[in-house]
Structure 1
Amino acid sequence: MRNLKALALLPIYFVASTSMLAGGKGSDVVKGKELGQWVQITKPTMLRHLVENISRPGTAPGSVVASPSTFDPNYYYHWIRDAALVMDIIVTEYSQAVDPIIKNSYRRMLFDYTWFSRSNQTIWTPSGGPGEPKYNVDGSAYNEPWGRPQNDGPALRALTLTRFANLLLEEGRHDVVRDILYDGTVNSVIKTDLEFVSSHWQDPCFDLWEETYGGHFYTLVSSHRSLKEGAKLARLLNDAEAATKYEQQSRAIEYSLRGYWNENIGAFIASINPWLVMSGNPGQPLYGRSGLDASVILGLLHSNASDDLLPFSDDRVQATVAKLENEFQRIYQVNNKGFQGIAIGRYPEDRYNGYTTDGEGNPWFLTSLGFGEYYYRLANHLEKLGKIEITSRNAEFYKKMGIATPVDFARALTRIREKGDDFVVVAKFHMDQEFRMSEQINRYSGYMQGATDLTWSYASFLTAISHAKFSYR
């Protein structure tokens, strides 16, 4: 019952008309201010759905269930990656909360998550380290065969908790940060993850989809950002030697990432030397994959890579986005029914249908919303940059939005933001009347399937809309 009080404090909106709210009313074109009104009404409910899956009744305080689904499929576990992305939303809400009661509620969630995470780090697990991908909701180790380790998990967890630590430092809570989050030894939660990442980022591991073993773009960009931000925190707390090490390793990652651009494909690829693994150990070479994967774009978003690593306006990034959109437009029947927007999947050759791994892959809410976030953040980035450069690599990307040389800059920004809207409308159209989102969208019918109430889906929605500017029209 821990979060019932927190849920009660979140705003509830009562609306006379449901036509604007209904997920099934997405066939009409919705953009700009009209979509902004829908988002404003919908956001509190999305946040409530997300909070419902934090410290659920019967689970350990600080656990985040990936989904309340316990059978076909069973997602009733605490995944390190999912939890970090979800709790990053709570960090943002904490930073913006004005009401002291609500702020204290978010702070309690974050401390619970911190203690739960520290417990995860200290118990025995099959992988023997922070790269263990998931835990039972009571905090005990999951000892069944699984794709382990997954080294993006500790990187993302360190990144989320570093954001929290910085907020506490701004509030003058230095002792709390040193006692609980970062004390300069490996006996603190952030330091443990940063030491692991700095020592193991070169190691092969499983990807975020838990299917392939090798080196992964997503894992590397997540590791890069966690070490960059961790170095800043370490210097603030007078741990200069560690800060220097983290900075050195982040620079080494930058060099390693150069190998993920594939000139023949004309896109960044997801993995290098990947092996397809179904039994938990490296098994067979990964045949039949082009390397195109939405995880590349998610990695750039989750690591804020545009700040200093790969700008969202990089023509190679834009070429990758265009190729993924073309593939998903082609293979998903639901994208060819005249509806607004393109539903995005994980990768074109995907066979996981939400229940089995021998079916046909589908669009996911979190990837579709991730593409919406990309376009919103691209528009914001270009607005600050003050210019758009069209090259042979990104010409198709811009052409699809009607943008060509000479560029009408103001109109181009509007078109890019409208493209972001299209992906939010995809989610709006396929979610249910209570604004609930599962993991996947059936590639033929458009109905939801797979794990219900996927917490990551709500996190992706809230993150995407936080970068939108719906007043452009």
Structure 2
Amino acid sequence: MNITSTIHHTARARAGVPLALGRQHPKAAYQQTDLAALAKYFILLMLRNVTSDGYVIEDPANPGQYSVPGCIIAAPSFPSNTPGVDQDYVYNWVRDAAITAIEIAAADLPATPGGGVPSLTDYVSFARLCQSNAHPTLGHACFTVAGQPRPWTEQNDGPAIQSLALLQAYPQLDAATQAIARQVIETNISYLLGAYQQPTTNLWEEHEGLSFFARSVQLRCFREVAANSYGIGVAANVPTAIAWLENALQDHWNGSYYVTMLAPGAGPGVSIVSGDLGYDPNIDIISACVYGAVPTTDTRLLATAARLRSQWADPNSNSFYPINGTDQARGIGPLLGRYPGDTYDGDVAHPVAGGHPWALCTCNFAELYYRLANDVDHAGKVPLDSLSEDFFAQVGVTSTTSIADASAALRNAGDAMLRAVVYHSDRYELSEQFDGTSGYEKSVHNLTWSYASFLSAVRAKTGGSKLSGKAASKSARTSGGKK
């Protein structure tokens, strides 16, 4: 938050106001934010939710029980400690932890002499602990800070995205930890080969069915394991699983958008969720691109994305967030939510109609823009057809737009979304949600996934697998670590 805003505004969600200098009207501070530089600070904020030998968390639901190194909590939120927010997020969700571990690996943190990156070494050990304790299946989604299963749902995207995180971290691990990582991955793959065709609980932990997100992440996992050069065993039926999932993802298309959750046996495009609940279009389709195998150039994906943006950014939409109208005048946004019928308020446990935008949803969409811009530059063409024309029209791209201008428009759209997240942050700290009317932060504070999604988007913006800049350190491989 800049000094002008700190002095003149008590509102925590404001991060700078343009000042008129004579007749000049310079850009507001929030329109000039160096997103890549800010990402380095967000790494530090994210790491506050990662435990180690020297940073221990007491389980607020079980006093006297302390965290094991490598636990990544979703957020430091517990009702008695966070007045006004009736949520307990002091747990390790397999998916959230894996997404965070991917960003830790991408941050190029320093390794110990002759060893690996400590936070990644701890993560691998904690992943093995949770895997060994998982019950009733290896798809169990949530664990205590001590690595014990918490009563929760089975979510079969978890083992897949955890395996992807371990593959990302692998070069920064010492030899002993690499052996553990291989074992965890091979166990995950064995489980997934028996589960990938089955229904599972979805990304938002609300419905069970055939999940587009889970299938996309599983497909990417199988592909990357099949191509690995680390000595990780590849079962003979992995190619069969890859082919099956490639076909299964096509079944989610209903002629207008990808349906998030299919009803088993009901045929292509038939949702398991009643239409009056407003569960589609669902932002987890975008997350399936960010974390899974759906390419950015899939024009069915882009058709879905266009509907997602318009339902929260178009004033004529019943799901329109008023803050997006205000932010449009600032040249930032829009902020995006999960799905049009969302009733999860975040501050309270009971359903509240209306829904609100989420930081991670907005950052995932921004990443789609950045990655698509990169793909357009690389291919030298824009994937513009009758399905994707609305998506490109939203950022001012038509059939006559040059390649350079099209990729620039996409990057500018991504920047506007990330700058809205920064503008409405609480002195750069990110909550789970923003109020759809006022823009103020709401729900749990310091959501780990919010930071991770911002970091992932910035990596896509800069076109690299790691965050650029002098702050990056040598990896274990170049610091004397064993491979």
Instruction: Bin the TM-score by the shorter chain.
Output: 0.7 to 0.9
- Relative to 1, partners in 2 of residues 1:31 and 1:394: Cα closer, same or farther, differing over 3 Å? farther
- Residue matched to 2:245: 253
- Relative to 1, partners in 2 of residues 1:31 and 1:166: Cα closer, same or farther, differing over 3 Å? farther
The alignment status of 1:379 with 2:352, answered yes or no, reads no
- Residue matched to 1:365: 359
- Residue matched to 1:464: 457
- Residue matched to 2:127: 117
- Residue matched to 1:279: none
The alignment status of 1:189 with 2:199, answered yes or no, reads no
- By how many angstroms is 1:38 displaced? 2.8
- Could you tell me how far apart the structure 1 residues matched to 2:181 and 2:275 are? 39
- Could you tell me how far apart the structure 1 residues matched to 2:160 and 2:281 are? 23
Of 105, 124, 138, the residue aligned with 2:146 is 138
- Relative to 1, partners in 2 of residues 1:452 and 1:356: Cα closer, same or farther, differing over 3 Å? same
Alignment of 1:399-414 (within 5 A): 399-414=393-408
- Residue matched to 1:441: 434
The alignment status of 1:93 with 2:93, answered yes or no, reads no
- Could you tell me how far apart the structure 1 residues matched to 2:91 and 2:364 are? 23
- Could you tell me how far apart the structure 1 residues matched to 2:425 and 2:160 are? 31
- Relative to 1, partners in 2 of residues 1:401 and 1:116: Cα closer, same or farther, differing over 3 Å? same
- Residue matched to 1:73: 87
- Could you tell me how far apart the structure 2 residues matched to 1:23 and 1:200 are? 44
- Could you tell me how far apart the structure 2 residues matched to 1:353 and 1:216 are? 23
The residue type paired with residue 399 of structure 1 is A
**Is the contact made by 1:32 and 1:418 (CA closer than 8 Å) also made in structure 2?**
no
The residue type paired with residue 205 of structure 2 is E
Give the unaligned 5+ runs of structure 1.
Answer: 1-14, 183-187, 275-282
**Is the contact made by 1:222 and 1:302 (CA closer than 8 Å) also made in structure 2?**
yes
- By how many angstroms is 1:216 displaced? 0.6
**1:191-249 alpha-carbon deviations (Å, 9 max, x no partner):** 1111111210111111010001101100000101111111223x652735x1x322221
**Is the contact made by 1:346 and 1:367 (CA closer than 8 Å) also made in structure 2?**
yes
**1:75-111 alpha-carbon deviations (Å, 9 max, x no partner):** 11000010000011111123xx4x555996x711111
The residue type paired with residue 256 of structure 1 is A
**Is the contact made by 2:209 and 2:261 (CA closer than 8 Å) also made in structure 1?**
yes
The alignment status of 1:203 with 2:198, answered yes or no, reads yes
Give the unaligned 5+ runs of structure 2.
Answer: 7-11, 19-24, 58-66, 80-85, 265-271, 464-483
Q: Please, what TM-score do these two structures have when normalized by structure 2?
A: 0.80
**Is the contact made by 1:375 and 1:420 (CA closer than 8 Å) also made in structure 2?**
yes
- Residue matched to 2:443: 450
Corresponding residue SS for 1:468:
helix
Corresponding residue SS for 2:3:
coil
The residue type paired with residue 334 of structure 1 is I
Alignment of 1:269-348 (within 5 A): 269-273=259-263, 287-303=276-292, 305=293, 310-329=294-313, 330=317, 331-337=320-326, 338-339=329-330, 340-348=332-340
The residue type paired with residue 296 of structure 1 is I
Of 321, 339, 343, the residue aligned with 1:351 is 343
The alignment status of 1:50 with 2:81, answered yes or no, reads no
- By how many angstroms is 1:269 displaced? 1.3
Aligned length: 417
- By how many angstroms is 1:32 displaced? 13
The residue type paired with residue 86 of structure 1 is T
- Could you tell me how far apart the structure 2 residues matched to 1:424 and 1:409 are? 23
- By how many angstroms is 1:311 displaced? 2.5
The residue type paired with residue 157 of structure 2 is D
- Could you tell me how far apart the structure 1 residues matched to 2:417 and 2:15 are? 15
Corresponding residue SS for 1:200:
coil
**Is the contact made by 2:219 and 2:242 (CA closer than 8 Å) also made in structure 1?**
yes
Corresponding residue SS for 2:209:
strand
- By how many angstroms is 1:113 displaced? 1.1
- Residue matched to 2:414: 420
- Could you tell me how far apart the structure 2 residues matched to 1:139 and 1:82 are? 15
- Residue matched to 1:185: none
**Is the contact made by 2:15 and 2:424 (CA closer than 8 Å) also made in structure 1?**
no
- Relative to 1, partners in 2 of residues 1:175 and 1:444: Cα closer, same or farther, differing over 3 Å? closer
Q: Please, what TM-score do these two structures have when normalized by structure 1?
A: 0.82
- By how many angstroms is 1:35 displaced? 5.7
- Could you tell me how far apart the structure 1 residues matched to 2:17 and 2:99 are? 30
- Could you tell me how far apart the structure 2 residues matched to 1:222 and 1:27 are? 41
- Could you tell me how far apart the structure 2 residues matched to 1:228 and 1:425 are? 34
Corresponding residue SS for 1:214:
strand
- Relative to 1, partners in 2 of residues 1:442 and 1:32: Cα closer, same or farther, differing over 3 Å? closer
- Relative to 1, partners in 2 of residues 1:260 and 1:19: Cα closer, same or farther, differing over 3 Å? farther
- By how many angstroms is 1:385 displaced? 0.5
- By how many angstroms is 1:23 displaced? 5.8
Higher helix proportion, which one? 1
The residue type paired with residue 122 of structure 1 is S
- Could you tell me how far apart the structure 1 residues matched to 2:350 and 2:221 are? 32
Corresponding residue SS for 2:126:
helix
- Relative to 1, partners in 2 of residues 1:207 and 1:25: Cα closer, same or farther, differing over 3 Å? same
- By how many angstroms is 1:64 displaced? 0.5
**Is the contact made by 1:27 and 1:429 (CA closer than 8 Å) also made in structure 2?**
no
Corresponding residue SS for 2:227:
helix
- Relative to 1, partners in 2 of residues 1:285 and 1:394: Cα closer, same or farther, differing over 3 Å? closer
- Relative to 1, partners in 2 of residues 1:357 and 1:374: Cα closer, same or farther, differing over 3 Å? farther
- Of 286-295 and 452-461, deviating more is 286-295
**Is the contact made by 1:352 and 1:358 (CA closer than 8 Å) also made in structure 2?**
yes
The residue type paired with residue 119 of structure 1 is L
The residue type paired with residue 75 of structure 1 is Y
